[in-house]
Amino acid sequence: GRLAVGCSSKEHKRDVYASDMTFDDDRVRPVSYTDKGVWILSLGRSQDIDIQFYIRKGIAKEHAKWMAVGTVSMQFEMQVKVFQQSFRQLDVSLRKKFVENCPGRVFEYNEVEQMVTAPHPERCIYCRECLSIEPPFNKLPEPLVNVRPKVNEEGHYNFVFTVESLGTMPVLSVVLKAVDMYIAKIAKVKHVLKAGAEEAQLPTRPIGTAPTAVRVVDQDLLNRNAESNEDN
Protein backbone atom coordinates (compact mmCIF):
# COMPACT_ATOMS: atom_id res chain seq x y z
CA GLY A 1 0.00 0.00 0.00
CA ARG A 2 0.92 3.66 -0.16
CA LEU A 3 0.43 6.81 1.89
CA ALA A 4 0.96 10.02 -0.10
CA VAL A 5 -0.45 13.16 1.52
CA GLY A 6 0.63 16.80 1.44
CA CYS A 7 -0.20 20.02 3.26
CA SER A 8 -0.44 23.08 1.01
CA SER A 9 1.17 26.42 1.75
CA LYS A 10 -2.27 27.90 2.42
CA GLU A 11 -3.04 25.43 5.25
CA HIS A 12 -1.70 25.75 8.76
CA LYS A 13 -1.65 21.97 9.26
CA ARG A 14 -3.25 18.80 7.99
CA ASP A 15 -4.04 15.71 9.99
CA VAL A 16 -3.31 12.38 8.32
CA TYR A 17 -5.63 9.48 9.07
CA ALA A 18 -5.77 5.80 8.15
CA SER A 19 -8.42 6.62 5.55
CA ASP A 20 -5.71 8.43 3.53
CA MET A 21 -3.92 5.15 2.87
CA THR A 22 -4.43 3.36 -0.43
CA PHE A 23 -4.16 -0.39 -0.90
CA ASP A 24 -3.40 -2.60 -3.88
CA ASP A 25 -6.04 -5.09 -2.76
CA ASP A 26 -9.62 -3.88 -2.32
CA ARG A 27 -10.19 -6.51 0.38
CA VAL A 28 -7.68 -4.80 2.67
CA ARG A 29 -8.85 -1.89 4.78
CA PRO A 30 -7.80 -0.38 8.12
CA VAL A 31 -9.76 -1.30 11.23
CA SER A 32 -11.57 1.72 12.62
CA TYR A 33 -14.82 2.79 14.25
CA THR A 34 -14.86 6.19 12.48
CA ASP A 35 -14.93 7.26 8.85
CA LYS A 36 -11.50 8.87 8.96
CA GLY A 37 -9.87 6.03 10.84
CA VAL A 38 -6.99 6.19 13.28
CA TRP A 39 -4.98 9.42 13.41
CA ILE A 40 -1.42 8.81 12.20
CA LEU A 41 0.35 12.19 12.22
CA SER A 42 -0.04 15.90 11.49
CA LEU A 43 1.72 17.74 8.65
CA GLY A 44 2.73 21.39 8.87
CA ARG A 45 2.52 24.04 6.16
CA SER A 46 4.19 22.89 2.88
CA GLN A 47 5.05 19.48 4.32
CA ASP A 48 4.25 16.22 2.61
CA ILE A 49 4.73 12.51 3.18
CA ASP A 50 5.07 9.71 0.63
CA ILE A 51 5.72 6.22 1.95
CA GLN A 52 5.16 2.71 0.69
CA PHE A 53 4.25 -0.01 3.19
CA TYR A 54 3.78 -3.77 3.15
CA ILE A 55 1.11 -5.66 5.05
CA ARG A 56 1.99 -9.02 6.49
CA LYS A 57 -0.27 -11.44 8.33
CA GLY A 58 1.03 -13.41 11.28
CA ILE A 59 0.18 -15.07 14.57
CA ALA A 60 1.01 -14.17 18.15
CA LYS A 61 3.32 -17.18 18.40
CA GLU A 62 5.72 -15.27 16.15
CA HIS A 63 5.24 -11.80 17.67
CA ALA A 64 2.91 -10.17 20.18
CA LYS A 65 1.90 -7.47 17.67
CA TRP A 66 -0.32 -10.08 15.96
CA MET A 67 -2.16 -10.97 19.14
CA ALA A 68 -5.92 -10.65 18.66
CA VAL A 69 -6.89 -10.72 22.34
CA GLY A 70 -5.64 -9.11 25.51
CA THR A 71 -7.03 -10.87 28.57
CA VAL A 72 -8.36 -14.42 28.56
CA SER A 73 -9.66 -15.96 31.77
CA MET A 74 -11.81 -18.84 32.93
CA GLN A 75 -13.46 -19.43 36.29
CA PHE A 76 -16.03 -21.84 37.59
CA GLU A 77 -19.57 -20.64 38.20
CA MET A 78 -19.92 -20.96 41.96
CA GLN A 79 -22.87 -22.15 44.00
CA VAL A 80 -23.11 -20.35 47.34
CA LYS A 81 -25.41 -21.67 50.06
CA VAL A 82 -25.99 -19.72 53.28
CA PHE A 83 -26.90 -21.57 56.49
CA GLN A 84 -29.15 -19.17 58.36
CA GLN A 85 -29.28 -21.44 61.42
CA SER A 86 -25.54 -21.00 61.90
CA PHE A 87 -25.72 -17.23 61.48
CA ARG A 88 -28.34 -16.99 64.22
CA GLN A 89 -25.63 -18.03 66.67
CA LEU A 90 -23.68 -14.85 65.83
CA ASP A 91 -24.45 -11.37 66.99
CA VAL A 92 -25.11 -8.55 64.51
CA SER A 93 -21.54 -7.20 64.58
CA LEU A 94 -20.07 -10.57 63.61
CA ARG A 95 -22.59 -11.00 60.82
CA LYS A 96 -21.59 -7.66 59.36
CA LYS A 97 -17.92 -8.51 59.78
CA PHE A 98 -18.47 -11.72 57.84
CA VAL A 99 -20.02 -9.75 54.97
CA GLU A 100 -17.13 -7.25 54.97
CA ASN A 101 -14.51 -10.02 54.83
CA CYS A 102 -15.64 -11.11 51.36
CA PRO A 103 -13.42 -9.31 48.77
CA GLY A 104 -15.87 -10.00 45.95
CA ARG A 105 -18.88 -8.57 47.81
CA VAL A 106 -20.87 -11.75 47.29
CA PHE A 107 -22.78 -11.38 50.54
CA GLU A 108 -25.08 -8.66 51.87
CA TYR A 109 -26.58 -8.00 55.28
CA ASN A 110 -30.31 -7.32 55.42
CA GLU A 111 -30.87 -4.76 58.16
CA VAL A 112 -34.63 -5.41 58.30
CA GLU A 113 -34.54 -9.19 58.58
CA GLN A 114 -31.04 -9.21 60.16
CA MET A 115 -29.99 -12.01 57.83
CA VAL A 116 -26.94 -12.62 55.63
CA THR A 117 -27.76 -13.37 51.99
CA ALA A 118 -25.71 -14.19 48.88
CA PRO A 119 -27.34 -12.20 46.05
CA HIS A 120 -24.20 -12.07 43.89
CA PRO A 121 -22.74 -15.59 43.52
CA GLU A 122 -21.32 -14.64 40.10
CA ARG A 123 -18.77 -12.43 41.88
CA CYS A 124 -17.29 -15.35 43.80
CA ILE A 125 -13.62 -16.00 42.99
CA TYR A 126 -13.35 -18.95 45.40
CA CYS A 127 -10.88 -17.22 47.69
CA ARG A 128 -12.28 -19.30 50.58
CA GLU A 129 -12.33 -16.26 52.85
CA CYS A 130 -15.92 -17.07 53.82
CA LEU A 131 -14.81 -20.57 54.84
CA SER A 132 -12.07 -19.30 57.12
CA ILE A 133 -12.08 -20.53 60.71
CA GLU A 134 -9.90 -17.74 61.98
CA PRO A 135 -11.12 -15.89 65.13
CA PRO A 136 -13.82 -14.93 65.83
CA PHE A 137 -15.30 -17.65 63.59
CA ASN A 138 -13.26 -20.53 65.01
CA LYS A 139 -15.73 -21.76 67.65
CA LEU A 140 -18.78 -22.45 65.52
CA PRO A 141 -20.23 -25.98 65.63
CA GLU A 142 -21.40 -25.75 62.00
CA PRO A 143 -20.13 -23.87 58.92
CA LEU A 144 -21.74 -20.60 57.96
CA VAL A 145 -21.74 -21.15 54.18
CA ASN A 146 -21.00 -23.80 51.61
CA VAL A 147 -19.21 -22.80 48.40
CA ARG A 148 -18.54 -25.17 45.51
CA PRO A 149 -18.50 -25.17 41.69
CA LYS A 150 -21.98 -25.32 40.23
CA VAL A 151 -22.98 -28.51 38.43
CA ASN A 152 -25.57 -28.41 35.64
CA GLU A 153 -28.28 -30.96 34.87
CA GLU A 154 -25.88 -33.00 32.71
CA GLY A 155 -23.44 -33.38 35.58
CA HIS A 156 -20.85 -30.99 34.14
CA TYR A 157 -19.32 -27.94 35.78
CA ASN A 158 -20.44 -24.55 34.55
CA PHE A 159 -17.73 -21.98 33.94
CA VAL A 160 -17.41 -18.42 32.72
CA PHE A 161 -14.98 -17.92 29.84
CA THR A 162 -13.94 -14.29 29.34
CA VAL A 163 -12.16 -13.07 26.21
CA GLU A 164 -11.12 -9.44 25.72
CA SER A 165 -10.53 -8.49 22.08
CA LEU A 166 -8.00 -5.84 21.06
CA GLY A 167 -10.29 -4.70 18.26
CA THR A 168 -8.70 -6.46 15.29
CA MET A 169 -11.22 -9.32 15.36
CA PRO A 170 -14.63 -9.83 16.99
CA VAL A 171 -14.53 -11.97 20.13
CA LEU A 172 -16.86 -14.61 18.67
CA SER A 173 -14.65 -14.97 15.59
CA VAL A 174 -11.57 -15.40 17.77
CA VAL A 175 -13.18 -18.15 19.86
CA LEU A 176 -14.61 -20.04 16.87
CA LYS A 177 -11.29 -19.81 15.01
CA ALA A 178 -9.46 -21.15 18.06
CA VAL A 179 -11.86 -24.09 18.30
CA ASP A 180 -11.33 -24.88 14.61
CA MET A 181 -7.55 -24.85 15.14
CA TYR A 182 -7.83 -27.25 18.09
CA ILE A 183 -9.97 -29.61 16.02
CA ALA A 184 -7.41 -29.51 13.20
CA LYS A 185 -4.53 -30.18 15.59
CA ILE A 186 -6.34 -33.12 17.20
CA ALA A 187 -7.07 -34.56 13.75
CA LYS A 188 -3.39 -34.20 12.85
CA VAL A 189 -2.30 -36.02 16.02
CA LYS A 190 -4.82 -38.77 15.29
CA HIS A 191 -3.46 -39.15 11.75
CA VAL A 192 0.17 -39.24 12.89
CA LEU A 193 -0.52 -41.84 15.58
CA LYS A 194 -2.44 -44.05 13.18
CA ALA A 195 0.09 -43.71 10.35
CA GLY A 196 3.05 -44.28 12.68
CA ALA A 197 1.58 -47.47 14.13
CA GLU A 198 0.70 -48.88 10.73
CA GLU A 199 4.12 -48.06 9.28
CA ALA A 200 6.00 -49.67 12.16
CA GLN A 201 3.49 -52.57 12.37
CA LEU A 202 3.05 -51.97 16.07
CA PRO A 203 0.15 -53.46 18.07
CA THR A 204 -2.65 -50.96 18.61
CA ARG A 205 -5.67 -50.63 20.87
CA PRO A 206 -8.80 -48.46 20.69
CA ILE A 207 -9.42 -45.61 23.10
CA GLY A 208 -12.92 -46.48 24.30
CA THR A 209 -15.50 -48.89 22.98
CA ALA A 210 -17.11 -46.78 20.27
CA PRO A 211 -16.84 -48.08 16.68
CA THR A 212 -15.15 -44.83 15.66
CA ALA A 213 -12.71 -44.85 18.59
CA VAL A 214 -9.16 -43.72 17.85
CA ARG A 215 -6.54 -46.47 17.85
CA VAL A 216 -3.17 -45.84 19.48
CA VAL A 217 -0.07 -47.89 20.11
CA ASP A 218 -0.62 -50.55 22.80
CA GLN A 219 2.27 -49.63 25.07
CA ASP A 220 1.35 -52.25 27.70
CA LEU A 221 1.57 -55.07 25.15
CA LEU A 222 4.90 -53.75 23.91
CA ASN A 223 6.28 -53.74 27.47
CA ARG A 224 5.09 -57.30 28.08
CA ASN A 225 6.68 -58.47 24.84
CA ALA A 226 9.92 -56.75 25.78
CA GLU A 227 9.98 -58.42 29.21
CA SER A 228 9.24 -61.80 27.60
CA ASN A 229 12.15 -61.37 25.19
CA GLU A 230 14.49 -60.51 28.06
CA ASP A 231 13.49 -63.66 29.97
CA ASN A 232 14.17 -65.81 26.89
Confidence class for position 231, pLDDT limits 50, 70, 90: low
Residue 52 has pLDDT above 60, yes or no: yes
Q: Which of 35, 98, 95, 70 is nearest to 174 (CA)?
A: 70
Average pLDDT over residues 176-190: 87
Of 146 and 225, more confident: 146
107 dihedral zone (left: phi>0; alpha: psi -120 to 50; beta): beta
Alpha helices in the chain (DSSP H): 84-87, 92-101, 171-200, 219-231
Cβ density class 130-156: b for 16+ within 10 Å, e for less:
beeeeeebeeeeeebbebeeeeeeeee
Average pLDDT over residues 164-183: 88
* Residue 210 confidence (pLDDT): 72
Three-class secondary structure of residue 44 per DSSP:
strand
pTM beyond 0.75, yes or no: no
Q: 53: which residues sit within 8 A by CB, 6+ positions away?
A: 1, 2, 3, 21
Q: Which of 136, 135, 128, 68 is nearest to 103 (CA)?
A: 128
* Residue 33 confidence (pLDDT): 64
